[in-house]
Amino acid sequence: MTPYTIMLVEDEDDIRSRIHSKIEPNPHFMVTAQANNGYDAFELFEKHVPDVLITDIKMPFVDGLTLASSVKLLYPKTKIVFITGFNEFDYAKKAIELGVIDYLSKPISASDIETVLNKLKTRLDDDQRNLFNEEKLKEVYQSQLPALIDYQFNDILRKRVITQQEIDRFLMYGYDFNHGYFTNGLISIEGEAPLLLIEQTRTFLFNAIKNQFSNCRHVLVFNSMYGLGFCLHHDEPTLQDGLSKCAEIVDLKSEISKLVVKIAISTPFEPFNKFNVHFNQTIETMKRFDSFNFDCIGQYDDFKVESASLPFDRVWFEHFEAMIRLKPLKDIDEFLKDFMDDERDVRLSDRPLLLKLSTLMLDYAAFLHVNLDDIIAMDILDRLSSFRKMASLWHYLRELIVNIRDKILA
């Protein structure tokens, strides 16, 4: 049997030479190309198209992640192995998205090489056996469909104008984007965690988007350089309960993962050739989240409207402060009655309100010589920002006022 071919990319000549010498004795593999940087490697890869790419992650000019991403887009069957001395979150997350076979951690021993080669041979042998199996071919096509869709979306994101030919290409995958309305979304996963938890969170979000928006005509989720993207294809000009459904996803995520998840969605649009403009809306929205270290959701038009037309001016805050300091609870209930029935979503445009309410509650606790940390085990602004509905926010504030007063009596 012809040996499987390997391309080896490592910027340190001595390390590359040692790895090559450890691969050479294995009769099932042959190193057919070598490079010392990612820039030269891609041109060489296209010339040889090897079965396996073994590449260092961090290299000059073009790093291993960028090289592997380009290879995977054009040659999705290529098996990837990373050489790394790093354990950084951004590298690990991207490596998971690329579906790497394994890692070779420096310093690399002969047994490490043997283990990886055995794993590669098993996967490559399976590929060969499945190549001529019609049933398997159908399964392979379905399993490769997410990668093909990833490629298609990333291809149109690089272009200024989306042509009809590019829209019709989605027809090959079973998606007719010539009719209907669309809403784009972008998900960012942030924080430090074990690789398994990161992958579990990403998989959960992938499936949760599909489940929450199952009433749409199509729900396509894809990996992009900006994060986990999605495109919702729906029949109505507006997307019903888009933010609420995203909020439910984030709430459910909190039960399995402490990683911070941020979701941004665009305004609905049609026709599909406006995709790039509206995907840029999600990128701009995500930028507004940069300073937030907690779960958050938002829609592009959140930033183009004023806060709800409720009387949250300086006079209102002075009145509310006087009420909570001097009035009995029944008077406060009467004052907050309309607000506690407010069923609208908490929007990013309400951020100034949350800041003022946080300051007010801190001042109130200090006024009564109560340590707010004894009542809530987190930052007050983070707690208020966690609510998805205004009614829940106001009910919590009423409960907090009671708890502060109870501390004095305790």
Q: pLDDT tens digits for 242-289?
A: 888 998 898 888 888 889 999 999 999 999 999 999 999 999 888 888
In a domain, 309, yes or no: no
Residues of the chain above pLDDT 70, percent: 90
The domain spanning residue 198 has which CATH number? 3.30.70.1230
- Domain end residue (candidates: 272, 304, 336): 304
Question: CA-to-CA distance for 391 and 337, rounded, in angstroms?
Answer: 10
* pLDDT of the residue at 379: 84
| 272 in the same domain as 247 | yes
Among 39-53, 87-101, 383-397, name the one with the lowest average pLDDT.
87-101
The tens digit of pLDDT for each residue in 171-209 reads 988 899 999 999 999 999 998 888 888 888 999 999 999
Burial of 239 (0-12, 13-18, 19+ CB in 10 A): buried
In the chain, how many domains are there?
3
CA distances in angstroms from 157 to 96, 220, 387, listed in the order given? 22, 15, 34
363 has a pLDDT exceeding 60: yes
The mean pLDDT value of the chain amounts to 85
- Please give the pLDDT value at position 214: 93
- pLDDT > 60? residue 65: yes
More confident residue, 317 or 214: 214
| 136 found inside a domain | no
Starting at the edge strand found earlier in the chain, the sheet holding 260-265 runs 218-224, 227-234, 181-190, 260-265, 296-299
Residue 117 lies in a domain: yes
Return the H-helix or E-strand segment holding 15: helix 13-23
Residue 19: domain span: 4-131
DSSP 269-315: B-SGGGHHHHHHHHHHHHHTTTT--S-EEEEGGGGGSPSPSS--SHH
Q: What is the DSSP code (8-state) at residue 213?
A: T
The pLDDT value recorded for residue 254 is: 83
Q: What is the pTM of this model?
A: 0.47
Residues 159 and 286 in one domain: yes
